[in-house]
Structure 1
Amino acid sequence: MRLIFTVLLFFVILLSQAQARDTIFLWPNKVPGEIDVKHTAIKSKNTKGNVIRLSKVTNPSLIVFKPEKANKSGAAIIVCPGGGYNILAVDKEGYEVAEWLNKLGYTAFVLQYRVPQKQKGALNDIQRAIRFVRSKSNEYQLDSNKIGVIGFSAGGSLCARASTLFKEVSYSKIDAIDQLSCRPDFSMLIYPAYLDKGKNRSLTPELKISNNTPPCFIFGTADDKYGNSSLVMTSALRDNNVPVELHYQYKGGHGYGLRAGNVAAENWPSLAEDWLRRMVDSSELNKYVRNQK
C-alpha cells in the first residue's frame, strides 16, 4: 500500500510540475519565412555530455519558469540556448539556467528558436518573444521596462543581435503585440560566439551598436576558440558609451553552462547574479530606458 501511495505521489508531483510550465507558441498562424509545417521539435538521439539536443524547430515557443518566490525587481529574462544555430542544448543552456534564475527570484522564459541554420528566422523569433513577454507583464507581474535576455554561444550571438537590431523590421507585424518594443532592456552574453566575423576578426558587420544599445554583461575565457567574440563586443560597447561589464578568465573552454566541474561554470553565475543585483534590481537600469522603437 505504501508503495502504491509513493508511486501516486510521484506522478502527482510530475503532473504539478508539468502544469506549472506554460508553453507560449509565438506565432498563432504562419511562421514568418518558414516553409516547413509546424511540428514538435525533434529530440536528437545524440545525448553526449548528458545534454538534450533539439533540432528542426518549426513552431517557436517560450517555456515559462515561474519562481516560487519572486524578488521585487519585476524583471523577466528570456533564455537562449546555444548549439551553433544547428540544435538547441535546451537543458544545459536553457532549462537549467531558467531554474537557476528562478532561485534568484526572476521569472524566466526559455526560447526555442528556429534551427537548423535559420538565423533570420531566429531573429524573428527573439524579437517576437521579447514583445510577447512585454505584453504579458501584467499577467506575470513584471516590469515592462525590465525584460532582458541571456544567451550561450549561438544563443549569445542571438541575444547580441536582438540587442543591436531592435530597430530592424525583420518580419511583418501580425497583431497588437508587434506594436510593442523588441529592444531588450539588458543583455547577458555567456561565452558568445560569431560576434567577430568582421575584417581581421573585428565586430560582425550585422551588429549595429549605438548608445541606445542596452547594458550588457559578458563572460568569456581565453581558451575558448570563440573567446574573441567577448572582447570585440565589449570594445564596441565601450566605444559607444554603453554600460558593459566583462569577466574574462584564462580557462574554461566553451559550452559548460552551469554544470559543476568546470571552473568557468562555477564562477560566472555569482558574477552575473551580482551584476543583476546592481544593474537590474536597483533603479540603475532606469537610466538606460531609452527610445526603444
Structure 2
Amino acid sequence: MKTCFTCFVLLIFSAIGNAQGTDTLYLWPGTVPGETMAKHPPVQTPNTSGNVIRLTDVTDPALVVFEPKAPSNGAGIIVCPGGGYNILAIDKEGYEVAEWFSQLGFTAFVLQYRVPDKREPALYDLQRAFRMVRARASDWNVDAKRLGVIGFSAGGSLAARASTRFDERTYAPVDAADSLSARPDFALLIYPAYLDEGENRSLTPELGLSDRTPPQFLFGTADDRYGNSALVMAGALRDQKIPVTLHFLSKGGHGYGMRNGNDAAETWPDLAEKWLRQLVLTNHEPLMP
C-alpha cells in the first residue's frame, strides 16, 4: 500500500513539474459545487502516448498561473485543455500553450477543470475562474476588461459555453468575487468539439448567441472528425454579426496542440497572434460593453 501511495505522489509531482507556473490558485475555498467526491490531487493516467501528460479525477479545480516572460501587455487569458471531458491533456494543450502566451506578454492561467464526465461542473469551474482572476487582477497587473479564453477540443467546447452562457448563475455565490462578470472579453477555439450537437448537426442548443457574445477566433481542419464544430460556430456567429475569424486547413487532424511536425499546429499560433495583436493588444478600450 505504501508503495502504491508513493507512486501516486510521484505521478502528481511529475505532472506539476511540467508546469513552469508561478502559483496555483484553488477555485473553491470550501465545498465544491456539484462535486460528490472529496478534494484530492488530480490523478495522472498511465497513458503517456504521444508524449502527453493526462490528468483525470479532478475534484479540486485550480488555476496554474504563468506570468509574462516578455514585457506585460496587460491582457490575461485562461487556457482550457481538451480531453473529451474525460481527461485533461494538461501539458500539450495547457502548460505549453500558457508558456507561449507568456512569451507574448500575457498573463496566462491554465484551468484544471473537473473531469471525467462533468460537463456542467466544468462550466462552474471556468465561470469561477473568470471571477477569481478579475477579483485579483491587480495582483498580476491584468486589465480585467481584457481577459479572454482559449480552448482545445473539449476545452474549445467549454470556452464556447462560457462565451455564450456567462449571464447564467450556474452555482450559488461563494464570496465577493462571484459578484463579478464571468464573460470572456475574447475567445479562441482551436479544433473545438461538440459545438454541432443540434438537429442535423446544427449549433448545440445551449450555445445561445447574443449581441454580447465576445469576438472569436476559430481554427480547424477538414480531416478532423470534429471539424464541423468550427464551421457551425463560425456560421452562427456570422449570422448574429458577432466578429469572427475562421481559419480552416485541409489537413491536420485533431489534438495537435502547437507542437512541431504538424502543419496545422505550426500554422494557428501565428494567425492567432496576429488576431490578438489587432483585436486585443492595440486596443486598450473595452472590447464590448
Q: Please give the TM-score of this superposition, normalised by the length of structure 1.
A: 0.91
Equivalent residue number for residue 48 of structure 1: 49
Q: What displacement does 1:136 show?
A: 1.4
CA 230–19 in structure 1, closer or farther in 2 if over 3 Å, else same: closer
8 Å CA contact retained: 2:69, 2:102: yes
Is 2:288 aligned against 1:289? yes
- Once residues 252 and 122 of structure 1 are traced to their aligned partners in structure 2, the CA distance between those partners, rounded to angstroms, is 27
Equivalent residue number for residue 136 of structure 2: 136
- Once residues 189 and 26 of structure 1 are traced to their aligned partners in structure 2, the CA distance between those partners, rounded to angstroms, is 23
- Once residues 71 and 43 of structure 2 are traced to their aligned partners in structure 1, the CA distance between those partners, rounded to angstroms, is 33
Q: The residue matched to 2:49 in structure 1 has which SS?
A: coil
Deviant stretches of 4+, over 6 Å: 16-19
Matches within 5 A, 1:71-220: 71-72=72-73, 74-220=74-220
Equivalent residue number for residue 6 of structure 2: none
Equivalent residue number for residue 36 of structure 1: 37
Q: Which string of whole-angstrom CA distances, capped at 9 and with x for unpartnered residues, describes residues 15-67 of structure 1?
A: x9989520000000000010000000000000000000000000000000011
- Once residues 120 and 20 of structure 1 are traced to their aligned partners in structure 2, the CA distance between those partners, rounded to angstroms, is 27
The letter for the 1-side match of 2:193 is A
- Once residues 242 and 151 of structure 2 are traced to their aligned partners in structure 1, the CA distance between those partners, rounded to angstroms, is 19
Q: Which string of whole-angstrom CA distances, capped at 9 and with x for unpartnered residues, describes residues 93-116 of structure 1?
A: 000000010111111000000000
The letter for the 1-side match of 2:41 is T
- Once residues 19 and 202 of structure 1 are traced to their aligned partners in structure 2, the CA distance between those partners, rounded to angstroms, is 40
- Once residues 230 and 178 of structure 1 are traced to their aligned partners in structure 2, the CA distance between those partners, rounded to angstroms, is 31
Q: The residue matched to 2:120 in structure 1 has which SS?
A: helix
Query: Where do 5+ consecutive residues of structure 2 fail to align?
Result: 1-16
Q: The residue matched to 1:49 in structure 2 has which SS?
A: helix
RMSD of Structure 2 on Structure 1 (CA): 1.5
The structure with the largest alpha-carbon Rg is 1
8 Å CA contact retained: 2:214, 2:242: yes
Q: The residue matched to 1:138 in structure 2 has which SS?
A: helix
Q: What displacement does 1:69 show?
A: 2.6
Equivalent residue number for residue 3 of structure 2: none
* Aligned residues between the structures: 273
Equivalent residue number for residue 21 of structure 1: 22
CA 26–249 in structure 1, closer or farther in 2 if over 3 Å, else same: same
8 Å CA contact retained: 2:69, 2:104: no
Equivalent residue number for residue 7 of structure 1: none
8 Å CA contact retained: 1:278, 1:284: no
Equivalent residue number for residue 64 of structure 1: 65
8 Å CA contact retained: 1:221, 1:252: yes
Q: The residue matched to 1:230 in structure 2 has which SS?
A: helix
Q: What displacement does 1:70 show?
A: 2.8
- Once residues 35 and 19 of structure 2 are traced to their aligned partners in structure 1, the CA distance between those partners, rounded to angstroms, is 29
Q: What displacement does 1:282 show?
A: 1.5
Equivalent residue number for residue 261 of structure 1: 261
8 Å CA contact retained: 1:279, 1:285: no
CA 191–19 in structure 1, closer or farther in 2 if over 3 Å, else same: closer
